[in-house]
Amino acid sequence: MSGKIYVSEMHNVHKALEDVDYPCTKAEIIRKDGAKVVRLDWNLTKTIGELVKPIKLEKFCCAAAFYNALVASMNEGKM
Amino acid sequence: MNIGNSYALHGKIETEALSVVMAQYEPISATSLDDVDKNVETVLGHMDRASCGYPGYDLFVTPEGGLQGYSHGGWINALVDIDGPQIQKLKDKCRELSVWGVFAPWVRPKSGNFAENMAIIINDEGEIVHRYVKMNPFIPSEPTHPGNQCPVTPGPKGSRLATIICSDGDYPEMWREAAFNGANIILRPAHYMAPWEQAWQITNKAGAYFNQCYVIACNGVGLTQSYSYFGNSMIVNPDGTTICEAPLGLTWLTKADLYPGIIDQMRKQAVHSNPLYTFQHRGASCPDFGGVGDTELPYRAYR
CA distance A58 to chain B (A): 24
Q: Do A8 and B51 touch (CB under 8 A)?
A: yes
Instruction: Give the model's pLDDT for residue B198.
Output: 98
CB A8 to CB B49 under 8 A?
no
Distance from CA of A65 to the nearest CA of B (A): 16
Q: Is some CB atom of chain B closer than 8 A to the CB atom of A10?
A: yes
Q: Distance between CA B252 and CA B42 in Å, rounded?
A: 13
Task: Say what angle helices A9-16 and B33-53 make with each other, to 10 degrees.
Answer: 60
Say whether residue B98 is in contact with chain A using an 8 A CB cutoff. yes
Instruction: Give the pTM.
Output: 0.92
Could you tell me what percent of chain B has a pLDDT over 90? 79
Residues A37-67 pLDDT 10s: 999 999 999 999 999 999 999 999 888 889 8
HSE (CB half, 13 Å, CA atoms) of A20?
28
**A18 touching B, CB under 8 A?**
yes
Q: Which of A5, A11, A14, A67 to mutate to test the interface with B (most CBs of B within 10 A)?
A: A11
Amino acid identity at B208: A
* B52 lies within 8 A of chain A by CB: yes
* Given B26, B64, B116, B245, the catalytic residue: B64
Does B64 participate in catalysis according to the annotation?
yes
- Strands B185-190 and B214-219, bridge-based pairing: parallel
**C-alpha Rg value of chain A to the nearest Å:** 13
Active-site annotation holder among B166, B205, B218, B245: B166
B49 touches chain A (CB under 8 A): yes
Contact yes or no for B51 and A11 at CB 8 A: yes
Alpha helices in chain B (DSSP H): 33-53, 85-97, 172-180, 197-211, 260-269, 275-278
Listed residue (B276, B209, B233) closest to B64, CA to CA: B233
Q: Which A-chain residues 19-78 have CB contacts (< 8 A) with chain B?
A: none
* pLDDT mean across residues, chain A: 91
* Tens-binned pLDDT, residue by residue, of chain B (303 aa): 678 778 788 888 889 999 999 999 999 999 999 999 999 999 999 999 999 999 999 999 999 999 999 888 788 899 999 999 999 999 999 999 999 999 999 999 998 899 999 999 999 999 999 999 999 999 988 999 999 999 999 999 999 999 999 999 999 999 999 999 999 999 999 999 999 999 999 999 999 999 999 999 999 999 998 899 999 999 999 999 999 999 999 999 999 999 999 999 888 888 777 889 889 889 888 888 888 889 998 999 987
Chain A nearest C-alpha distance from B39 (Å)? 18
Please give, rounded to a whole number of angstroms, the shortest distance from the CA of B99 to a CA of chain A.
9
State the ipTM, two decimals.
Answer: 0.75
**Closest residue in A to B57 (Cα–Cα):** A11
